[in-house]
Amino acid sequence: MISHARVAFATIALLIFGSAHAQYPEKPIRIVVPFVPGGVSDVVARMVALKITEQTGKAFLVENRGGAGGRIGYEAGAKATPDGYTITATDATYTMLPGLFGNKLPWEHSDLTPILLIAQMPFVIVSKSDSKNKTLPDLISQAKANPQKINYGSSGNGGVNHLVTELFSRSAGIAMQQIPYKGMGDAVAGLLGDQVDVLVTAIPTGLPHVRGGKMTALAVTSAKRSTAAPQIPTASEQGVPFVSNNWVGFTVPRGAPREAYEWLTKSVTAAMAAPDLIARIHAMGAEPNLLVGDEYGKMIQSETARWTEVIRAAGIKVE
């Protein structure tokens, strides 16, 4: 016969275990952002984390692991302990790296499990405000008349802005010359300093300079006009069949506990329903866009195939 003491002990142990199990997360969750502070992925990740903290009281720590075009941060996230306490913020770069580096990458997409796509934002094609290229047709006309004479700035060879601009150039039937910088902040400075003629940059990066009168927006690259800047026409409206978006989502290391996956899915979804967060995302020029689990995974696969084809067709090589 089981003694009353043993039954009491077992009951207490079950209650303690059940309580601990139900309290996930019991410690701060780390969000690895594979880029320096201030970029789109960093800003969106912090905004979402802050809203989840407001709603649940659970803490998040954002860790910026920039360098090597995102490879350092993605590797750190992919190789993190799969205990549910590390999230990696993924963006379009994540789907470009396989085409650029192939089996040289020390991780694979299967090492990170998609949780949710959070937001998408178009790129904006900009020139300096005093440039003679006031419209997209102006730029295309100049580029066709002067192949490889129009310079564009990028955040580095093989980076998002490099590949997006190459895809735009192919769509428009033009050839421009890349001037790579160490980051998009330097590329913006290059445009404002007359070192380059044009940029294709994420709309949250370019829009403040457009609003400040320092840049002219030639087009956005979304399928429809941005809610944050409806006065800017799309590239498609102007005869260039070009649609491309950057995006931000969350992943966890393969093998993370199911309870972590479910809690994060539920918490991010609730955060993204908050009107004030939606308003802040719209103000950036981005659009909330939840794709959960397998749907997000299918988008990653599709984008990876797309960018791999662009990289091979353009003959882009990186060291």
Instruction: Give residue limits of the domains in the chain.
Output: 22-121+247-314, 122-238
Give the tens place of pLDDT for each residue, 72-126: 999 999 999 999 999 999 999 999 999 999 889 999 999 999 999 999 999 999 9
- For residues 249-265, give the mean pLDDT: 97
Cα dist from 90 to 47, 120, 207, 221, 291, whole Å: 15, 12, 22, 20, 13
6 confidence band (pLDDT: 50, 70, 90)? very low
8 confidence band (pLDDT: 50, 70, 90)? very low
Q: Is the dihedral of CA 300, 312, 222, 71 positive or negative?
A: positive
Pairing of strands 60-64, 29-33: parallel
CA distance 118 to 296: 10
1 confidence band (pLDDT: 50, 70, 90)? very low
274 confidence band (pLDDT: 50, 70, 90)? very high
pLDDT at residue 319 in the model = 66
pLDDT at residue 197 in the model = 96
Three-class DSSP category at 319: coil
Let me know: does 107 contact 79? Beta carbons within 8 Å.
yes
CA distance 238 to 70: 33
CA distance 144 to 174: 6
Cα dist from 252 to 12, 37, 47, 97, 157, whole Å: 33, 21, 18, 18, 28
- The one-character DSSP state at 28 is P
Let me know: does 125 contact 152? Beta carbons within 8 Å.
no
CA distance 197 to 176: 10
Superfamily per CATH, domain 22-121+247-314? Bordetella uptake gene, domain 1 (3.40.190.150)
Give the tens place of pLDDT for each residue, 9-58: 444 444 444 444 458 999 999 999 998 887 888 999 999 999 999 999 99
Give the tens place of pLDDT for each residue, 131-160: 999 999 999 999 999 999 999 999 888 888
CA distance 263 to 297: 18
Structure tokens at 265: 């899915």
**H-type alpha helices, the chain:** 4-22, 40-56, 71-78, 92-101, 136-145, 160-172, 184-192, 203-211, 258-271, 275-283, 294-314
Chain centroid to CA 196: how far? 24
Number of neighbouring beta carbons within 10 Å of residue 151 = 15
- pLDDT at residue 214 is higher than 90: yes
- The one-character DSSP state at 233 is P
pLDDT at residue 158 in the model = 82
Pairing of strands 112-128, 287-292: antiparallel
- For residues 267-283, give the mean pLDDT: 95
pLDDT at residue 315 in the model = 83
**Are 22-121+247-314 and 122-238 the same fold in CATH?**
yes
pLDDT, mean over the chain: 90
Structure tokens at 120: 């998408």
pLDDT at residue 19 in the model = 43
pLDDT at residue 316 in the model = 81
CA distance 117 to 281: 14
The CATH topology of domain 122-238 is D-Maltodextrin-Binding Protein; domain 2 (3.40.190)
Let me know: does 199 contact 133? Beta carbons within 8 Å.
no
pLDDT at residue 313 in the model = 84
